[in-house]
Structure 1
């Protein structure tokens, strides 16, 4: 029997727009954006502006159709490739990239980003930079050992994976296998940056409750070290929001680099 009473994102998908509205919108009622948007943007800005993570190719492999994680990244990489496992996420993301009517409004995230950097005068520029960087959107297949097969991409200098690893992995063994697949996208010495929910067992999108793998900070650190990564930075934030959309206890930001 399936050990989880919830649906699985990889198999069933969800409404990408509702996911964005629930977790990263400018909604003062749930305030989930404090954990799912503001916390990672602060850490990303700090991590990238230190200057150690940069290069030619960045791969983004994140949940739904989020784009805020690319605000700082687009300043440090020549090419950004976005991987998605669901067609619905691709359509939602392309709607924003192409500035179509009805696209999700990310201006609150862009404003938060430029305020952190102290560059509020660049508010309009940052979204256009991300749109220009997000032209390469590729569907991948988690069931394959090489998730891009038959496509061949250059090894990446950095992979971002936000809010995804815990919901595409049914258990710890599958998490380790998925981490191995992501690791193979990186060149030696390349970086991986993750955000995830700690202590979560489910998350809700619309009427659907979906599985989230329950793990802690120690598990993530051990998995990375055993996959030949060196951990560079960790930040953990206690949950502050009040919402029954998900039962996570903390949120985690972690950056590591692959040993050469």
Structure 2
């Protein structure tokens, strides 16, 4: 398929349930578990257990209708405000939040947390804890100066953005621009946690191929520093999975804070 025919995530949308099934489910044929489930859960759990990232408000700005990256965070923030660019993602997220019939099953993530944290007794009711910490799923327009207009968000102590920047940015200037917008949502000293894929050019969801911005570790680091962030931790894991659904070379986990 010619790259000019690739769809654009926040313009054309895609099947949010198919995205979860292909890249984040607990099915045996879901080959990306090491990169999309275990890698972020391990690093997020370790990061939050260190104890210096916490507060009143965490804003989640992530691809699709992801939930698993919020399990580790829910114990450290009073409120998690989830921002989504499409109605489909909002509907999928709310189906899970309201425990409706047909909601995506994240039970495999609870089991992963039990294994990683080795405290299964304390994780009883973890899904309900995540649900209770999310008061709002808000639709946002990424191009507006206030992306949640007419709602004004409170300044955040932390933002998590998982696999989003690469699918909304058309070029490297866009990437920097969105980092700037994220920074504006943070309190001075607030933290930004980024999860992403390096060197990707597309991601397949069902019959659709979605355009992805190709970037590397060096660019991600320089972009963060250039927009006033201080990097605290970077972890990169090389891809070991063979699949033509997506062409990334590695996954990244970066923690940075906004300079005061």
Inter-CA distance 208–91: structure 2 relative to 1 (3 Å threshold)? same
State the number of aligned residues. 259
Instruction: Show the counterpart of 2:151.
Output: 151
Contact preservation (8 Å) 2:146, 2:152? no
Confirm or deny that 1:38 pairs with 2:38. Answer: yes
Please list, as runs of the form range in 1=range in 2, the aligned pairs for 1:10-89 lying within 5 A after superposition: 10-89=10-89
Contact preservation (8 Å) 1:27, 1:33? no
Confirm or deny that 1:117 pairs with 2:117. Answer: yes
Contact preservation (8 Å) 1:84, 1:90? yes
Q: Distance in 1 between matches of 2:3 and 2:250?
A: 23
Confirm or deny that 1:98 pairs with 2:98. Answer: yes
Confirm or deny that 1:135 pairs with 2:135. Answer: yes
What is the CA-CA distance between 1:3 and the residue it aligns to?
A: 7.4
Q: Return 5+ residue gaps in structure 2 as ranges.
A: none
Question: Counterpart of 1:145 in 2: which secondary structure?
Answer: coil
Question: Counterpart of 1:240 in 2: which secondary structure?
Answer: coil
Please say which of residues 231-240 and 141-150 is displaced more in the overlay.
141-150
Contact preservation (8 Å) 1:55, 1:78? yes
Question: Counterpart of 1:190 in 2: which secondary structure?
Answer: strand
Inter-CA distance 4–224: structure 2 relative to 1 (3 Å threshold)? farther
Contact preservation (8 Å) 1:16, 1:89? yes
Q: Distance in 2 between matches of 1:63 and 1:124?
A: 27
What is the CA-CA distance between 1:199 and the residue it aligns to?
A: 0.6
Instruction: Show the counterpart of 1:197.
Output: 197
Question: Counterpart of 1:69 in 2: which secondary structure?
Answer: helix
Instruction: Show the counterpart of 1:185.
Output: 185
Q: Return 5+ residue gaps in structure 1 as ranges.
A: none
Confirm or deny that 1:172 pairs with 2:172. Answer: yes
Contact preservation (8 Å) 1:30, 1:241? no
Confirm or deny that 1:249 pairs with 2:249. Answer: yes
Please say which of residues 135-144 and 21-30 is displaced more in the overlay.
21-30
What is the CA-CA distance between 1:34 and the residue it aligns to?
A: 1.3
